[in-house]
Amino acid sequence: MSFLAGILLLFSGVEVQAVHAEDMKDPRRGFPRAIFIAAFACFAVFTLGALAVAGILPYDKITLQSGVFDAFTAPLTALGVSWAGPVIAALICYGALGGALAWLSGPSRALLVTAEDGALPPFLQRTNRRGAQRNILLAQGCIVTAISAVYLVMKNVSSAFFLISALVVGLYIIMYMLMFAAAIRLRYTHPDLPRNFRIPGGPAGMWAVAGTGFAAVAFALVLAFVPPSQLPIGNPASYVAIVAAGTILFTGLPLLIHRLRRPSWRANAAQSGHAGAAPTPNAESPS
């Protein structure tokens, strides 16, 4: 049950496809089908992959951070081609690096647009000569480095990995809770707004779909604070305190910045030439 929140994270990002609904001929019929196909495909891929690892490795030999590598190494060693293990590991790391770079550039670029709109302080509006979000990336790197320091203070790597994952999952789930709640609210505040896709059934249909989703992710959020018995987490109270503190900090920080925002932040972005336009590649942003 403790791992349920992490399992839900595997489906994260499916909702992003909603931006393509207007490109479909009949989104009222096609979009639900696309979402169901995507959900089924994700479920099948991750379930079959997990079953494959469980079928190859004994339960007590599975670790969170190297389970996939161990699953490849065991059969390759039995077949006498253990040399292929490091090659596969290198390819997996290369793929993971590509995914990490995509996650670094995408959200941070979105933050730059937010900063240019005056929602973030001028320090985070600065870019390099090529228009890359320099200071946002630096701040992001410092935060990730600080969080990764958990590995230095915890003896078990799997426990540290799960602790960081629980914190990430908690933040993700809170955003999903907000999206489900917003969907229900918008059905009442803007009932007649033309939409490419609309959940059928009126308010009752919206409550059934978004309400079920909200209840599911809320339950998963509670489980994120429950340490698994399979890992040597240590004092459960300390685990809950760390996850709660991290969730409150990273949830409250954007709200605090939003409350402290100043009109000059937007003026600064306009004067710097960033607001509503891409930065020029041959001019260093003012420091």
pLDDT digits (tens, 9 = 90+) for 232-273: 777 888 888 888 998 999 999 989 998 988 888 886 666 665
Q: For residue 166, is it within any domain?
A: yes
Q: How confident is the model at residue 185 (pLDDT cuts 50, 70, 90)?
A: very high
| Domain shared by 50 and 163, yes or no | yes
Q: How confident is the model at residue 198 (pLDDT cuts 50, 70, 90)?
A: confident
Q: Give domain status of residue 273, yes or no.
A: no
* Measured CA distances, 191 to 21, 184, 186 (Å): 19, 10, 7
Distance CA 162, CA 165 (A): 5
* The domain boundary residue, chosen from 148, 165, 186: 148
pLDDT at residue 211 greater than cutoff 90: yes
Q: Note whether 171 and 247 are within 8 A (CB).
A: yes
Based on the domain organization, do 43 and 171 belong to the same domain? yes
Residues 110 and 175 in one domain: no
In 79-201, which ranges are continuous DSSP H helix? 84-116, 134-148, 150-153, 157-189
Is the pTM here over 0.85, yes or no?
Answer: no
Report yes or no on 248 lying in a domain.
yes
Q: Are residues 21 and 76 in the same domain?
A: no
- Distance of alpha carbon 55 from the chain centroid: 29
Domain containing residue 161: 1-56+155-264
| Same structural domain, 90 and 185 | no
Q: Is 285 within a domain?
A: no
Instruction: Say whether both 74 and 101 belong to one domain.
Output: yes
Query: Per-residue pLDDT tens for 26-50?
Result: 888 888 888 888 888 888 988 888 8
- Regarding whether 141 and 188 lie in a shared domain, the answer is no
Provide the number of structural domains found in the chain.
2
Q: How far is CA 256 from the centre of its chain?
A: 21
Q: Is residue 42 part of a domain?
A: yes
**Exposure string over 211-239, b if 16+ CB within 10 A, otherwise e:** eebbebbeebbebbbbbbeebebeeeeeb
Distance CA 287, CA 285 (A): 6
Same domain, 168 and 234: yes
